[in-house]
């Protein structure tokens, strides 16, 4: 079965939501909280170790009900069934979308079960030193070479779970930037370094360039030249991997039915399993699987991914906020915003609908962010007093991992305080009375009071989780994956292809031949001038 092709703007709910926007234009978050004593009941969800509060978004009970009608009119339940059934919902590439199968512990797919066993045994042997380098030494460092989905997920997860890591250090090389490659390798010992080359296609320029540099580095530095002991690869393109010189036992599979940006739940997660051990990696999958079950089985109004997707659609399509900030209140999650950029922007950055027509409503948001409280001292000024409406996801944890209560209380008081400030704001009357109480003179008050006014009424969503561990991180990432899916369904786009990344790649490879030869082709003046300049330097 293929996904329904429903233009959301033709639904009854969409029209009602346009009316809601006008009705709500006279309200503020403060007035909504005053009027609705039961706001938290219907705009928050407690589930497992998650406490999700989306009540600080500018909507009321009626709006929320209409949003759930929108989800129904756009056939969200059918679509979820198609996703989990393995229907070919990635229509433009003729593929199923089954990353959820990689974390399904009831799966009957023997290949996935074999992969899990292989990840378990391989990572354990790297950790305990059974698998050694060609000079017989235990590995101390692992370098993941891959880009996009073959890099961002494992990199973010290993950073997020570094509290749980063992003595092995995992490094990442992604960009086709020889300087970065050299900077990573310069501190490593070739005898004790193991490379994981991750590429679904095994044709990606960046990854193959970096993998070849790593191969040369091993060959140059180790007399035995046995690169096989130092490399494994994860790919769908087994022949290309063998041609690269990788041992058959050291090849891990990827599947057509798993998109790169959803792939870390399978073999692409090998570096995660090496870093935190297979038992922890398994917990990470279990967490994601629990969220899958919640997404599949919960009613719309208590379904975390669906509700958060609906809120995001409300903010984007009706309140006109086209960017969305992700603010985790823990340094462990500092890579989450860039990971979610690929997950959300590569998936939903589309302007053609599922019928092949140009879309005339807003789709994929711009995703950005950083960790609180750092971001408070960087870009929060614009969120508080700028002219743009920027909804934020605040992600926090009730417990810290190292147990510094004093710091954690301060951190989390900022978490709550910022959301409260964004919602409440501070009007001129309040500013003036505060300044008077602090004995400012009349002239200073007149001169400066306006600048101290905060409009407030800025939407935030709080995702408060008991503790950061492999299981809760799995839940969080799976939650965002299902938000991406739900938004794509409602926006009537195909979330699982990424045709938009192709053109630049093709042009870059043509231009490379011109940079390296004496010929410059027929281009616009600006491109020609760039090529001329680069010929002299590269
Ligand atoms: O350029 C985008 C992309 O196709 C991503 O979707 C993918 O994760 C990345 O490139 C890397 O591709 P591969 O794993 O085939 O090297």
Report DSSP letters for 352-421, one per residue. Answer: B-TTSPBP-S--S-EEEE--TTGGGGTTHHHHHHSSS---EEEEEESS-SS--HHHHHHHHHHHHHHHHH
Q: Give the distance (Å) from ligand 1 centre to CA of residue 202.
A: 9
**Cβ count within 10 A of residue 18:** 11
Structure tokens at 88: 């070919």
Write the CB contacts of 82 (distance below 8 Å, at least 6 apart in sequence).
1, 3, 89
Q: Give the distance (Å) from ligand 1 centre to CA of residue 339.
A: 13
306-346 confidence digits (pLDDT tens)? 999 999 999 999 999 999 999 999 999 999 999 999 999 99
Provide the pLDDT confidence category of residue 496 given band limits of 50, 70 and 90.
Answer: very high
**Ligand 1 lined by 498 (C-beta under 6 Å):** yes
Mutation choice for ligand 1 from 90, 176, 200, CB with most ligand atoms inside 8 A: 200
Phi, psi of 116 (to 5 degrees): -60, -45
Q: Give the distance (Å) from ligand 1 centre to CA of residue 306.
A: 27
Provide the pLDDT confidence category of residue 535 given band limits of 50, 70 and 90.
Answer: confident
Is 377 a catalytic site residue? yes
First to last CA, the chain: 51
User: Are 89 and 96 contacting, i.e. CB atoms less than 8 angstroms apart?
Assistant: yes
360-380 confidence digits (pLDDT tens)? 999 999 999 999 999 999 999
Residue 537 has pLDDT above 70, yes or no: no
Provide the pLDDT confidence category of residue 225 given band limits of 50, 70 and 90.
Answer: low
**Ligand 1 lined by 474 (C-beta under 6 Å):** no
Q: What is the mean pLDDT of the chain?
A: 97
- Burial class (CB within 10 angstroms; exposed 0-12, middle 13-18, buried 19+) of 316: buried
Residue 519 has pLDDT above 90, yes or no: no
**The model's pTM:** 0.97
- Catalytic one among 35, 216, 220, 505? 505
Which residue's C-alpha comes closest to atom 3 of ligand 1? 148
Position of tokens 């680069």? 534
What pLDDT is recorded for position 518?
Answer: 79
Q: Please report, for residues 90, 210, 509, 519, the alpha-carbon distance to residue 512 in angstroms, rounded to integers and kept in the order given.
A: 32, 16, 5, 11
66-89 confidence digits (pLDDT tens)? 999 999 999 999 999 999 999 999
Helix pair angle (470-491, 61-73), 10° resolution: 70
């Amino acid at each position: 079965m293929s996904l329904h092709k429903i233009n959301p703007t033709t639904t009854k709910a969409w029209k009602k939501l346009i009316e809601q926007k006008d009705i709500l234009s006279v309200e503020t978050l403060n007035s909504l909280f005053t009027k609705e004593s039961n706001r938290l009941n219907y705009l928050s969800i407690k589930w497992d170790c998650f406490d999700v509060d989306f009540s600080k978004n500018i909507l009321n009970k009626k709006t929320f009900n209409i949003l759930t009608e929108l989800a129904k009119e756009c056939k969200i339940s059918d679509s979820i069934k198609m996703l989990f059934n393995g229907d070919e919902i990635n229509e433009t590439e003729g593929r199923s979308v089954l990353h959820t199968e990689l974390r399904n512990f009831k799966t009957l797919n023997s290949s996935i079960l074999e992969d899990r066993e292989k990840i378990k045994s391989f990572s354990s042997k790297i950790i305990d030193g059974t698998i050694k380098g060609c000079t017989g030494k235990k590995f101390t460092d692992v370098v993941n070479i891959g880009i996009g989905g073959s890099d961002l997920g494992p990199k973010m997860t290993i950073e997020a779970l570094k509290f749980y890591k063992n003595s092995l250090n995992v490094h990442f090389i992604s960009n086709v930037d020889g300087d970065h490659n050299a900077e990573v390798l310069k501190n490593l010992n070739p005898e004790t370094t193991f490379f994981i080359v991750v590429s679904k296609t095994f044709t990606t320029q960046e990854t193959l360039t970096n993998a070849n540099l790593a191969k040369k580095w091993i060959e140059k530095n180790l007399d035995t030249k046995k690169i096989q002991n130092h490399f494994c690869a994860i790919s769908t393109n087994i022949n290309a991997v063998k041609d690269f010189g990788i041992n058959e036992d050291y090849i891990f599979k990827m599947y057509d039915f798993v998109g790169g940006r959803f792939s870390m739940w399978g073999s692409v997660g090998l570096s995660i399993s090496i870093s935190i051990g297979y038992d922890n990696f398994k917990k990470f999958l279990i967490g994601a699987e629990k969220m899958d079950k919640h997404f599949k089985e919960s009613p719309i109004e208590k379904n975390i991914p669906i509700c958060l997707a609906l809120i995001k659609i409300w903010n984007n399509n009706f309140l006109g906020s086209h960017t969305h900030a992700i603010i985790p209140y823990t340094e462990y999650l500092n890579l989450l915003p860039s990971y979610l950029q690929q997950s959300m922007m590569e998936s939903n950055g589309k302007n053609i609908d599922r019928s092949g027509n140009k879309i005339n409503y807003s789709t994929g948001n711009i995703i950005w962010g950083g960790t609180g409280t750092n971001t408070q001292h960087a870009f929060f000024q614009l969120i508080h007093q700028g002219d743009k409406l920027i909804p934020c996801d605040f992600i926090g944890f009730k417990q810290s991992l190292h147990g510094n209560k004093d710091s954690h209380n301060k951190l989390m008081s900022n978490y709550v305080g910022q959301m409260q400030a964004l919602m409440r704001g501070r009007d001129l009357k309040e500013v003036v009375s505060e300044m008077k109480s602090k004995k400012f003179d009349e002239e200073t008050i007149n001169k400066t009071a306006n600048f101290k006014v905060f409009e407030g009424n800025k939407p935030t969503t709080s995702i408060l989780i008991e503790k950061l561990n492999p299981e809760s991180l799995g839940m969080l990432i799976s939650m965002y994956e299902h938000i991406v899916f739900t938004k794509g369904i409602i926006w009537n786009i195909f979330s699982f292809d990424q045709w938009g990344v192709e053109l630049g790649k093709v042009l870059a490879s043509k231009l490379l031949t011109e940079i390296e030869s004496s010929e410059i082709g027929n281009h616009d003046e600006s491109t020609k001038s760039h090529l001329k300049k680069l010929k002299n330097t590269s």
